[in-house]
Structure 1
């Protein structure tokens, strides 16, 4: 008889595979279908991250992961929408579903979904808490070099003052990326603290699926933005930004410690 823990464990590759399938489909659909697929990918990716956290390190850690990612992430979005701090002045459209205080509820899970792979990659690369916070924070923040130009182009939010901006990416202000880095470091600190404070559920957790999702997001986003979404400059910036973590990580996987 399969218990709940085993069923949850078996869901990780399924949820990860569905996430990848959704991301492959994104450039191939348009309009409302693309909007719905965006929300589905966020939910699936977040579910994959939480399911992996629960099965590899315990349910309590997964609850903590959700708390230290979704809560500060959503709070920062609320603050940003209403004050312009820390990202700059922007407004969400209704394309991403139900909003609370002007922010789509699903945005909270967007912070959760990628913070977990970023944190685990940081733990593979460096040893101290401070270094893990910095590496994980950069890994999470650099993902937005892809994300923001892509979703602004899709009409999910709009910037009031998109300048100054990165060369070739004139729809997103530099203040956004600085704000993302700040919030990502706060989220990263929370995730590393939760992991360090856990009761180990496994001596050597199997982190292959979060690792795969991290590398897949880096490479597939580069391809999608560059080849299909006509956002070549954003693809280049995102590839270079994430490469600072992704390249050393891939090297450790290939050649080992």
Structure 2
């Protein structure tokens, strides 16, 4: 009994703020994430009304990244959240660094002198955008594909699991296969979810003059190779985040509500922006991006709706 209670305390199920069963640290991170998300929305609205919206681009991305880390910390703890964010930002930066030099994997492009600071020709704010939306897209994938743990496993202590595997050695290979299948489903769901965001991002950044393509493509000047590259890099990003954040849980499996909310807010704001706020509006981008991100939003929230 005491061992079970200790496991539940470590998982965050018992103890916490005012006897509610929610750890005080989690409450702080959720509140911080909500405040940062509201500030991000305000900055996005202001950028839509600003004659030179590029001035607020970095502010929006910084608030997005901070909100994503805060919500991830509420679900997984700050060390894991910070590690996942840093690793994702590093992968995004590496992909961009290679991309502007070789044209792989996105196609030939270059950044203009608008965004700064830059390291090796890549604006650091771009790496933060990969990190923030990477965490959000992984939470969407988790909601769509389901958690790694099996029903009832969330409250099983490590000692109990070890004894069960020892008693039934044949269960270990099956469990590993199930975990791999769950991870694969999250990677397959998360990569297009993150790529869907770029259906908004690239046309908007081209409008603002933040980067240019050597050979403009059919989608508002964006080549198809860009989206193929995004899928490849996004799969690596999803696998990396999954490795850091996902593990057999001792407590309730995190739902990632805050991160899914970030993804939802970005989908709504970008759709409204291209449909009615930007000058001139672009109904094609609003329809394509809104539909693609909207599908993942609906799938991610479906389990939270009453049936």
Q: TM-score, normalised by structure 2?
A: 0.75
Matches within 5 A, 1:136-151: 136-151=190-205
User: Is the Cα–Cα contact under 8 Å of residues 61 and 198 in structure 1 kept in the other structure?
Assistant: no
Q: In the alignment, what sits opposite 2:88?
A: 69
Matches within 5 A, 1:93-172: 93-127=112-146, 128-163=182-217, 165-166=218-219, 169=220, 171-172=221-222
Matches within 5 A, 1:81-92: 81-92=100-111
Highest Rg: 1 or 2? 2
Q: In the alignment, what sits opposite 1:208?
A: 257
Q: Aligned pairs, how many?
A: 248
In structure 2, distance between residues paired with 1:95 and 1:181: 26
- Deviation of the 1:122 alpha carbon: 1.2
Matches within 5 A, 1:207-246: 207-229=256-278, 230-246=281-297
Q: Check 1:8–1:251 CA distance in 2 against 1; reply closer, same or farther (3 A cut).
A: closer
Q: In the alignment, what sits opposite 2:13?
A: none
Question: Within the alignment, does 1:25 sit opposite 2:53 as a pair?
Answer: no
- Structure 2 unaligned runs (5+)? 1-16, 18-22, 147-181
Q: In the alignment, what sits opposite 2:231?
A: 181
Q: Deviations over 1:120-158 (max 9, x none)?
A: 111112131111111111110110000100111011111
Q: Deviations over 1:24-75 (max 9, x none)?
A: 22211122xx223110110111011111222321122112212331011000
What root-mean-square deviation, in Å, do the aligned CA atoms of Structure 1 and Structure 2 show?
Answer: 2.1
- Deviation of the 1:19 alpha carbon: 1.1
Q: Check 1:70–1:46 CA distance in 2 against 1; reply closer, same or farther (3 A cut).
A: same
SS in 2 for 1:78: helix
Question: Within the alignment, does 1:191 sit opposite 2:241 as a pair?
Answer: yes
SS in 1 for 2:212: strand
Matches within 5 A, 1:48-67: 48-67=67-86
Q: Deviations over 1:89-142 (max 9, x none)?
A: 111112222111111011110001111121111111213111111111111011
- Deviation of the 1:197 alpha carbon: 3.7
Q: In the alignment, what sits opposite 2:301?
A: 250
SS in 2 for 1:91: strand
In structure 2, distance between residues paired with 1:73 and 1:226: 29
In structure 2, distance between residues paired with 1:178 and 1:206: 29
In structure 1, distance between residues paired with 2:103 and 2:248: 36
- Structure 1 unaligned runs (5+)? none
Q: In the alignment, what sits opposite 2:3?
A: none
In structure 2, distance between residues paired with 1:161 and 1:241: 25
SS in 2 for 1:145: helix
In structure 1, distance between residues paired with 2:232 and 2:295: 18
- Deviation of the 1:199 alpha carbon: 6.8
